[in-house]
Amino acid sequence: MLEVLHSLANLSTPLIHGVIFLFNGAEENILQASHGFITQHPWAQQVRAFVNLEASGVGGKELVFQTGPENPWLVQAYVRAAVHPFASVVGQDIFQSGLIPSDTDFCIFRDFGNIPGIDLAFIENGFLYHTKYDTPDRIHINSIQRAGDNILSVLKHLVMSDELADFSEYRHGNMVFFDMLGLMMVAYPAHVGTVINYMAVIATVVHLGKKCMLTSSVAGWYLCDLMCAVFLLVLSWIFSLLAVLFVALLVTLMGRSMFWYTHFYAGVCLYGSAAVSIILWTHTLAKNQCYWGVSGLCRAEIWALMFHDLLPHGLAVPYIHIMFLIRVIFEVFTPIQGRNANGFPPDIFLLLLVTLATVILSSYFMHFIYLSRSTKRILAVLMSVFTLILVLVCCGLFFPYSADPSNPRPKRVFVQHITRRFHTLDGSLQSSDSGLCISDLDYTGMQHITPHIPQINDSIRTRCHDQLPYCGFPRFLTVEFLVK
């Protein structure tokens, strides 16, 4: 922010609009400083838009994950001005759904000031966020330079824009936006996206209608085959989800939950191989029972189809884009499970992400199952990987946490040395106690700590006093739903 301030102050061209640089603390006390500014500071009424700088990691690319409310001109300003764009409306949908257990100053300015803005954050290596390893030496200079280039370019564009003078004229409507591998931005109004979706549905209905207008026998066979194909596809997804869910429950019940927190690819291999195996097995069985003649009819044309039609006109670009988006989702959500003790098993959350990714990515190659002679070797490899990883997990080889200085994955525990005094309404002392208040911040609880500190087993589990603020816990933060 200081470098951006220095650059703006030394511009040769006068600024059309003023810029306020708000250096505020008290964020971890549930955003008190930003609330104080937007509700009490005399400058607050002059603010027309804002750019909020956040972090849920220690570097990498800064992701634009919230904009608005409405005011599509802000997204358009970022699209036009950002040097290294990195944004996704998916992040906005996920964050505003409440799945991420945190909040930002963006929400305070939006809810209490009714001011539109852009919310961006560093997301790389969120395992170190709010730990002793979250130190300046781990922040890459390239990350700071990249963020500075983007923020400075966007601010230069905003302070010279006509929209900022009276943004009420440009307030209506939301935007759909995303970047293409960080190379370029794509943005269009949400109502245009609705029209595109309806056009896709209409095109599908028209295509099916043309097929049904053929002779009755041909149309009947076509509809029958179509319904069978859709049924098999959905059935394979359901079987895959149920199988992976069973594996995740087994791992959780055995006390091996979050084994993937440090060994992420072990989790992907375990749940991913199970999901792919079930989908592959379901369609292989369908091919052998119902479509046994398809392979011989189509194999002769497959190579010509691949090289002359699929490659130049196929789905390579959207496939790569979806893989890029899935990687970002995993990069954001995997570290969050280390600070989210809401009682929901994180392995089930991970399997849902892995299964969803498997379903989306495998859809591009589903037809190859029906064109291959045999899938036995692929199934054997997948099941071997699954069995090996499952055995290693059950044996406890993959410990969830790591103190490796080069790549730490620490466990978070909230410890307070407290003294509590409870008073009646007339001010007299009713009761008092003191001690260590220990709150765990992830699903595994204290199971990995009590073997090393057995005294914790003798601790008293404090009950919630419903009649007292925050259950009577000595916690200034209103986040009791995140700890246990």
Are 290 and 228 in contact, with CB atoms under 8 Å apart?
Answer: yes
Beta-strand ranges (E) seen in 256-317 are none
Give catalytic status of residue 70 as yes or no: no
Partners of 63 in the β-ladder: 121
Measured CA to CA, the distance from residue 329 to residue 155 in angstroms comes to 28
Measured CA to CA, the distance from residue 226 to residue 221 in angstroms comes to 8
Tokens of 278: 């079930």
Measured CA to CA, the distance from residue 188 to residue 184 in angstroms comes to 14
From 3, 27, 28, 331, active-site residue:
27
The DSSP element (H or E) to which 421 belongs, if any, is strand 413-423
The DSSP element (H or E) to which 179 belongs, if any, is strand 175-180
Tokens of 280: 């592959």
Cα–Cα nearest to 62, from 1, 149, 3, 138? 149
β-strands 117-122, 62-68 pairing: antiparallel
Q: What is the DSSP string of 47-65?
A: ---EEEEEESSSSSPEEEE
Are 347 and 252 in contact, with CB atoms under 8 Å apart?
Answer: yes
In single-letter form, the type of residue at position 315 comes to L
Measured CA to CA, the distance from residue 461 to residue 314 in angstroms comes to 59
Catalytic residue positions, numbered: 27
